[in-house]
Homo-oligomer: A and B are copies of this chain.
Amino acid sequence: MPPTDRIRDHAGQGATTVAAHRARRRLRADAARQLADLLRRQLLTDGFPDGTLPHESTLAAEYRASRNTVRQALDLLRAEGLVERLPGVGTVVVAEKYPHGLDRLMGLAETLREHGQVTNEVRTMGPVAAPAPVADRLRVPAGSDVLYIERLRRLNGLPLSLDLTYIPLDIGAALLGADLENNDVFRLLEAITGRRLGHAEITLEAVNADANSAAVLEAPRGAAVLMLERLTHLADGRPVDLEFIRFRGDRISMSGLLHRSL
C-alpha cells in the first residue's frame, strides 16, 4: 500500500471512530431522555413513596440501561429541578409540581385546595381604558374603562403564577373593595354577579420567561413558563374575565381527558 493510501486509510479510520463515538454519544443521550421521561412521570405522581429513587445500579437493571445512561437521565431530571443528589442518601425527589385540571373551569385556589393555601399579591389594580383587542373580546366599547389587575399568586408561599386580568368595569368595580389576596377572581365574580361562570376559551403555550417576569416569579431568566390565555364567560355567555397567566413550568402540570369523537 503506498504511504498516501495508508495515510488516507488511517484518516478514514479516524473519521469512522469519531463517527462511531458520536453515534454512541447520541444514542446514550436518546436513551437517557427515554429513561428520564419514564422516571419523571413516576416522581411527579408519587411513584417513589419514600421520596428516594432506587440506587443507580437498581435503575440500570430495572430499565436495562447502562450506569452511564442512568446517570445522564438523573442529570436531566436534576437540571429540571425535579430531583437532587444527596451524598450518603442518593437521589431524592424535590419536585414541587402541582396538578391543574384541564377538564373543568376552576380557579387556582379551588384547584389546589388539597395542596395548600393560595395567596395573591396584588401588584396593580385599577381602571384602564380598554385597548381594542381587550374591548373586542370583553364586548365593551373600545376605550371604555375596564378593571385591570396584576397578581402574583403563591401556593404555601411559593410563587406559582403571574396573572394579568381584565374585567368589564360594571362587574369589576365591586372587586376594588374585595379580598383579592385570599380569593380566586372566579369565586368573587360569581358572588358579585349572583351567577355561575359558564365556559372559557383557553390557549396554552410554552415560552421562555423574559427577565422581568422571571424576576417576579423568582425563577431563573429564560425559565420555561406555561402561558395560559383564558377568556371566561358567565353561564349566559357574556365574557367577563380575560386573563394572561404565566405559570412557572417547574411548579404546574395540566392534566385532562381528550376524546376521539365529540
Contacts and interface: CB of A to CB of B under 8 A. Distances in A.
Interface string A6-20: 000000000000000
A168 B212 CA distance: 47
11 contacts: A26-B212, A42-B133, A102-B204, A102-B258, A104-B262, A198-B259, A201-B257, A203-B255, A204-B254, A206-B206, A208-B249
Contacts of A230: 258
Interface in A206-222: 206-208, 210-213, 222
A206 B200 CA distance: 21
A210 B104 contact: no
Contacts of A33: 164, 210, 212-213
Contacts of A62: 131-132
Contacts of A249: 205-208, 224
A37 interface: yes
A42 B216 CA distance: 25
A253 interface: yes
A226 B213 contact: no
Q: What's the interface size class on A, roughly?
A: 35 or more
Interface string A132-164: 111000000000000010100000000000001
Interface of A: 26, 29-30, 32-34, 37-38, 41-42, 47, 62-64, 76, 79-80, 97, 102-105, 123-124, 128-129, 131-134, 148, 150, 164, 196-208, 210-213, 222-227, 229-230, 235, 244, 247, 249-250, 252-262
Given A123-B30, A212-B26, A225-B224, A257 B202 contact: yes
Contact of A259 (B79, B105, B128, B252): B105
Contacts of A224: 206-208, 224-225, 249
B260 A105 contact: yes
Given A200-B258, A205-B249, A224-B224, 14 more contacts: A37-B229, A38-B133, A38-B134, A47-B133, A79-B208, A196-B261, A199-B257, A201-B257, A203-B255, A205-B253, A206-B207, A208-B222, A222-B222, A230-B258
A202 B102 contact: yes
Nearest to A256: B202
Nearest to A79: B210
A261 B37 CA distance: 33
Contacts of A250: 207
Contacts of A255: 201-204
